[in-house]
Structure 1
Amino acid sequence: MKKYILFNIIVLTALLGCDDLLEENPSFTLNEQTLFKTKESAQLALNACYGWVAHHQMYGQGLINVTELASGIAWARKNPGNDESNMAAFEFLPDGFYPTFLWDGLYKAISETNIFIAAAENSSIENKEHLMAQAKFLRGLAYYNLAYIWGGVPLKLTPPTAETTDVPRATRKEVIEQVIKDFNDAAENLNETEEDSSIPSKLTTWSMLAKVYFLEASAEGVGSSLWSTARDFGEKVFAVVGTAPPLEPVYADLFNENTRESVESLFKLNYSPQGTGRSFNKNGWMQSPYFSTVGGKHFPNRRVSKAHFNYFRSRHPGDPRIDASYFHTTYVNALNGNTENTYPIIAATGNRGTWPYFKKHHDSRIAGQFTYKNFIVLRYADLLLLMADVENELGNTGVAVGYVNQVLARARASVSPAALEPADVPLTISQQDLRQLIFDERLFELGNEGHSFIETRRRGIEYLGSITQRHNAEPDAIPGFESSSPWSGHRLPESGLTLERTLLMPIPQKEINNNKAIDQSNQNIGW
């Protein structure tokens, strides 16, 4: 069943015609018995939950803006006091607009799924277990992002009421345990596979569980017992699809504006021109180069860092993924057909074209701020690369190399004639060298897809420090906002508490002010 992006306001509009609903007093929740008298009304309400996950406070804008800008491999136009500038400079603000925007969006999605789960539990509709499983997956996905961006957060698992507004901060471990529980519970009642990847399946949840344990093992380091647990879940996926899971033949097609479904997608969000304004994908507008869309709409003050772009090119010159991921050298002005220059042709400090533009979310059809280009949240290449890291840590370097080379081979074959780069990894590579290579390849392959904040921090301060040091080696990386030009680079912390504290975002000040169960003492270290 296709999932079209609808919001709670649509659900309420459709249901408020029922007299018995109007007789209730749903101050904080919906009337479960009325809402779920039929499986059709329940499906409509579940669609609203999907809508909040796709909402521009979550995957439709907020998550990409925060996780990419604050990753250490992005740049934002310098503007003192501007939230995006501060994120790109690792000067995170507890009252920053976009982190608070994302936090609120994640908890809105959680609130809606909590309402849905409680309503479905109390209903007698025939397919409620499958619908509840989808809602639990969505809630787990929201808490996954909260845990890896902020650490321990308030755990809210029931419909909101006046008595449950103030919730203490759970530990990071407790939040991760809830994520694992939601994904495991979802897996019990999801179908093994789905033709439409906008509906999560067992493959989706097993892949996310592999990823959670992979991230936890990465944090614990060499010798963690969780590497084996991650492998167990990855192998459950491979048992269904094979150890050579389907990859999109052409890498760029993953991000083509006309791609509605991909064989590589494990979970995606659909966007429709029939959706409400807030359900549209705003990522294209947020990153499009100047005048690169038919409507001339752009806001390209967020781009990839030159340090990361140059590192990618130096490691894999001619890699087709570079052209698919970034507008560099030139791009076409959609309004007049002219060729516009950008980095590296424009390399002078102080020029607005001195950084390559992100490309994966670009949609040439944008006439306003919204696009209906679909968004792939999780894909098989992600699983292959994480399983490569897992096998490498377990001492199975040959198996790990095989998984990496599947991803690299697809990249080469994405153009005709096939590219020479990225070249296969030799079986003679050492475990340590392969560990670093996989760390880099995950950033190259998955960059600007909503993972980068987590990826750059998953091996701790040593690996994050290597990224910031490389970033600061760029000649125009100027401390703070000492340059009067907005078109200069940021300088990032390289070590110590100033870097360590950036492993997590500060808890939004709004939450501390409004939640009576927490106070300033609950803030993340260093903030």
Structure 2
Amino acid sequence: MKNFKYILFVASALSLTSCESLLDEDPQYTINTKVQFSSVENAQKALLGCYGYMTADNAYGQAWQEVTIGYSSMGWVQTASSSTDKLASLDGDPTEQINSMAWKGMYKVIGEANAFIANIEVSSLSDEAKTRMEAEARFLRALAYYNLAVAYGDLPLKTTPSAHDGVAVPRSPKAEVFEQVRLDWEYAFTHLPEKNDDGYATKWAAKAYLGKLYHTLACQGDNAAWGKAKACFDEVYGKYTLESKFGDLFVDNVKGAKESIFQVNFVLAGATTRNRASWLVAPSGSCNGQAFDRIRASKALHDYFIATYPEDPRFEISYFSKWRAYGGVGTGVKPQVEPIPTARDSGYAYPYFTYTKRGEAKPAGWKNVKQYVGRLPYEKFANPASPSMKELLEIIGDTATDYQRGLQAFILNTTTKPSTNTRSWPYFKKPFDPNQSGNNSHKNLILYRYADMLLMMADVYNEMDQKGKAIDLVDEVLARARRSGAKPAVQPAKWSTDLSKEQVREKIFFERIFEGIGEPEMYQKMRLRGTEMLKKVLELNNNHGIILESVAKNPSRNGNWGERIFNKANLNDADFLKKNLLLPIPKDEIDTNSSIDFTDNNFGY
């Protein structure tokens, strides 16, 4: 089996020369090109290198996940007045380095694919072998260009190795980039096998991505693309099935998932190609490896999910705010403090807190008094999506009960100043690996799931005035969610057919976000429908009662641990919304590509 192997060939198959530009990715093979492409086996090693660069730190190994989740507006990062803080605060500029890493990571894949295609086409291999391997390389090139075009808009478009046309490449219109993506995925659909091992391109993956491409074009204004997306999705429908349980998609080294349209696989010990997402999201003291918790989850989306779908089993799989305490890197779970497991053996974050009861004696044989766990009382809020400080203060009252005292300490540092500390935000659970080794996770990463295709397919049917079919398609995803807990759940309930077309459109938009929380593409999904829907997302944050109170009482944001209100609460600013539909072209690229200058960046940068 090839599973989990392709990243092993990155270092051994290719040796890259230094680059003056981020686009200068012209690989020089460790043996000469004629020998490298003299046999199918040798050429396959070079192709595996193309796959492997998708898993590198600059790509899905870290940067592409960090950018698309952390800078989505619903992923929280420390407010330290850094370039990272500014980009997460939607006030970014081109200097931010993680953004530059992500850009370079995708162009690395493109450069490797371009070189591979150029060499395989002139090799002496059989036409069948050349065509199949070229189709795989073009599939990967299309995915990298699609990712970049959706996130950055107009791009330098290169389809030949750097040595053939230099590295000073101007930006091409996004429409031209998408056309190259279409051509590559069409070629891949024609020439790839119907089935392959996990982590490798297939015919139906290419067709599903074509549907995704047309759905993107349609959402961005190409009305003719709705029908094209429908044709693609109709062909793929039934070629995959949903996993029985939502949580089975996010286990260690997931493989053989019926729902996986395309995924990238990692090895645990890889020096340059590894999954470092858990390291980014893990709370301190929550795992066996390094835990930097650089990315947290926004309260706003967390609470909106609770308000929309109370008791949805997906919630506990998407977020976590409770974890078993670990002693440190490589030390394993901390020993129990008391004769039985207690709250002192664990860590807690929003919306959970711990408290003790006044006057309660230590249980016999215990070292400490008992510690209790409380939770924000969502059932008492008029709008659980936005708990207000007024409601919380009314619940706290005169702090007559121990729970109320604990709640007060959790929400307020003093009677007037909201609490801002390392536990003030929940965490994304899907990338989390409590058994990670150092900063390397055991988890593979599904990039495109059948569930998301069904939701996009529903969006297409709704736009083509088949609302009933759209609701049925959505309910395939919701029904799986209802089955994903320990026992069948009522939520998320099937949508009413009384909803209008416009209401279904908005609900599908947010359903894709709920289903994909903590997975790559959070950034893109929130911007797919333009400024109108992006504004609705940002309003969740700017209207959240605890966030509003925190910013009002702590405008300096208390060092690293403050909250954000986007654009000083002005979401009617059309320029602000337009700017934040795209990421900035990195300064590193502008400095090294003479065909782009600082005036040629995206709007607002």
With normalisation by structure 1, the TM-score equals 0.92
Percent identity, aligned pairs only, is 35
Aligned to 1:56: 57
Aligned to 1:87: 87
Question: Aligned with 1:343: secondary structure?
Answer: coil
Aligned to 2:556: 482
The answer as to whether partners of 2:541 and 2:547 remain within 8 angstroms in 1 is no
Question: Aligned with 1:247: secondary structure?
Answer: coil
Where in structure 2 are the equivalents of 1:69-108 lying within 5 Å? 69-83=70-84, 85-108=85-108
CA shift, 1:86, in A, is 1.9
Aligned to 1:236: 235
User: CA offsets, 1:406-454, max 9 Å, x none?
Assistant: 0000001012311111111122321111111101100000122111111
Q: Give the Cα–Cα distance (whole angstroms) in 1 for the partners of residues 215 and 14 of structure 2.
A: 40
Question: Aligned with 2:314: secondary structure?
Answer: helix
1:429 to 499, 507, 531: 499
Range with bigger deviation, 178-187 or 308-317 = 178-187
1:506 to 573, 576, 584: 584
Look up the equivalent residue of 1:184 and give its one-letter code. Answer: E
Aligned to 1:299: 292
Aligned to 1:214: 215
Q: Give the Cα–Cα distance (whole angstroms) in 1 for the partners of residues 486 and 278 of structure 2.
A: 28
CA shift, 1:263, in A, is 0.8
User: CA offsets, 1:185-218, max 9 Å, x none?
Assistant: 1111101233x23111111111111111111111
The answer as to whether partners of 1:28 and 1:161 remain within 8 angstroms in 2 is no
User: CA offsets, 1:24-74, max 9 Å, x none?
Assistant: xx9854443221111111111111111101111111111111111221211
Number of residues of Structure 1 aligned to a counterpart in Structure 2: 505
Look up the equivalent residue of 1:293 and give its one-letter code. Answer: C
Aligned to 1:192: 194
Q: Give the Cα–Cα distance (whole angstroms) in 2 for the partners of residues 169 and 433 of structure 1.
A: 37
The answer as to whether partners of 1:74 and 1:303 remain within 8 angstroms in 2 is yes
Does residue 473 of structure 1 match 2:543? Answer: yes
Q: Give the Cα–Cα distance (whole angstroms) in 1 for the partners of residues 313 and 466 of structure 2.
A: 29
Question: Aligned with 2:447: secondary structure?
Answer: strand
CA shift, 1:283, in A, is 0.6
Q: Give the Cα–Cα distance (whole angstroms) in 2 for the partners of residues 201 and 170 of structure 1.
A: 28
Does residue 309 of structure 1 match 2:307? Answer: no
1:343 to 350, 366, 376: 350
Q: Give the Cα–Cα distance (whole angstroms) in 2 for the partners of residues 417 and 303 of structure 1.
A: 29
Aligned to 1:285: 279
Question: Aligned with 2:135: secondary structure?
Answer: helix
Where in structure 2 are the equivalents of 1:81-480 lying within 5 Å? 81-83=82-84, 85-126=85-126, 127-161=129-163, 163-194=165-196, 196-220=197-221, 224-238=223-237, 241=239, 245-273=240-268, 276-295=270-289, 297-328=290-321, 330-334=322-326, 335-336=333-334, 338-346=345-353, 347-348=410-411, 349-474=419-544, 475-477=546-548, 478=551
Question: Aligned with 1:503: secondary structure?
Answer: coil
CA 1:116/1:86 → structure 2, altered by over 3 Å: closer, same or farther?
Answer: same
CA shift, 1:270, in A, is 1.2
Q: Give the Cα–Cα distance (whole angstroms) in 1 for the partners of residues 184 and 566 of structure 2.
A: 36
The answer as to whether partners of 2:83 and 2:92 remain within 8 angstroms in 1 is no
Look up the equivalent residue of 2:283 and give its one-letter code. Answer: P
CA shift, 1:482, in A, is 2.3
Look up the equivalent residue of 2:542 and give its one-letter code. Answer: N
Range with bigger deviation, 121-130 or 436-445 = 121-130
Q: Give the Cα–Cα distance (whole angstroms) in 1 for the partners of residues 604 and 265 of structure 2.
A: 39
Q: Give the Cα–Cα distance (whole angstroms) in 2 for the partners of residues 481 and 74 of structure 1.
A: 20
CA 1:37/1:59 → structure 2, altered by over 3 Å: closer, same or farther?
Answer: same
Look up the equivalent residue of 1:336 and give its one-letter code. Answer: K
Q: Give the Cα–Cα distance (whole angstroms) in 2 for the partners of residues 509 and 50 of structure 1.
A: 27
With normalisation by structure 2, the TM-score equals 0.80
Range with bigger deviation, 197-206 or 246-255 = 197-206
Does residue 524 of structure 1 match 2:591? Answer: no
The answer as to whether partners of 1:88 and 1:490 remain within 8 angstroms in 2 is no
Look up the equivalent residue of 1:197 and give its one-letter code. Answer: D
Look up the equivalent residue of 2:450 and give its one-letter code. Answer: Y
Q: List gaps (5 residues or longer) in structure 2.
A: 17-24, 327-332, 336-344, 354-409, 412-418
Q: Give the Cα–Cα distance (whole angstroms) in 2 for the partners of residues 460 and 169 of structure 1.
A: 22
Look up the equivalent residue of 1:174 and give its one-letter code. Answer: E
The answer as to whether partners of 2:154 and 2:173 remain within 8 angstroms in 1 is yes
Question: Aligned with 1:390: secondary structure?
Answer: helix
Question: Aligned with 1:248: secondary structure?
Answer: coil
The answer as to whether partners of 1:33 and 1:122 remain within 8 angstroms in 2 is no
CA 1:261/1:56 → structure 2, altered by over 3 Å: closer, same or farther?
Answer: farther
The answer as to whether partners of 2:95 and 2:587 remain within 8 angstroms in 1 is yes
User: CA offsets, 1:369-416, max 9 Å, x none?
Assistant: 112311101110010000000000000011101100000000010123
Aligned to 1:2: 2
Aligned to 1:19: none
The answer as to whether partners of 1:103 and 1:146 remain within 8 angstroms in 2 is yes
Question: Aligned with 1:58: secondary structure?
Answer: coil
User: CA offsets, 1:311-370, max 9 Å, x none?
Assistant: 001000111111001112x22113316121111124533121111101101112113011
The answer as to whether partners of 1:166 and 1:517 remain within 8 angstroms in 2 is yes
Q: Give the Cα–Cα distance (whole angstroms) in 2 for the partners of residues 12 and 216 of structure 1.
A: 35
Question: Aligned with 1:267: secondary structure?
Answer: strand
Look up the equivalent residue of 2:556 and give its one-letter code. Answer: E
Aligned to 1:491: 565
Aligned to 2:365: none
Q: List gaps (5 residues or longer) in structure 1.
A: 16-25
Question: Aligned with 2:604: secondary structure?
Answer: coil
Q: Give the Cα–Cα distance (whole angstroms) in 1 for the partners of residues 37 and 313 of structure 2.
A: 49
CA 1:34/1:259 → structure 2, altered by over 3 Å: closer, same or farther?
Answer: same
CA 1:27/1:177 → structure 2, altered by over 3 Å: closer, same or farther?
Answer: closer
CA 1:514/1:258 → structure 2, altered by over 3 Å: closer, same or farther?
Answer: closer
Look up the equivalent residue of 1:485 and give its one-letter code. Answer: G
Range with bigger deviation, 479-488 or 252-261 = 479-488
CA shift, 1:476, in A, is 2.8
The answer as to whether partners of 2:131 and 2:191 remain within 8 angstroms in 1 is yes
Aligned-CA RMSD value: 1.9
Q: Give the Cα–Cα distance (whole angstroms) in 1 for the partners of residues 26 and 440 of structure 2.
A: 32
Aligned to 2:19: none
Aligned to 1:21: none
Q: Give the Cα–Cα distance (whole angstroms) in 2 for the partners of residues 12 and 420 of structure 1.
A: 53
User: CA offsets, 1:482-510, max 9 Å, x none?
Assistant: 22232221111323212211111111111
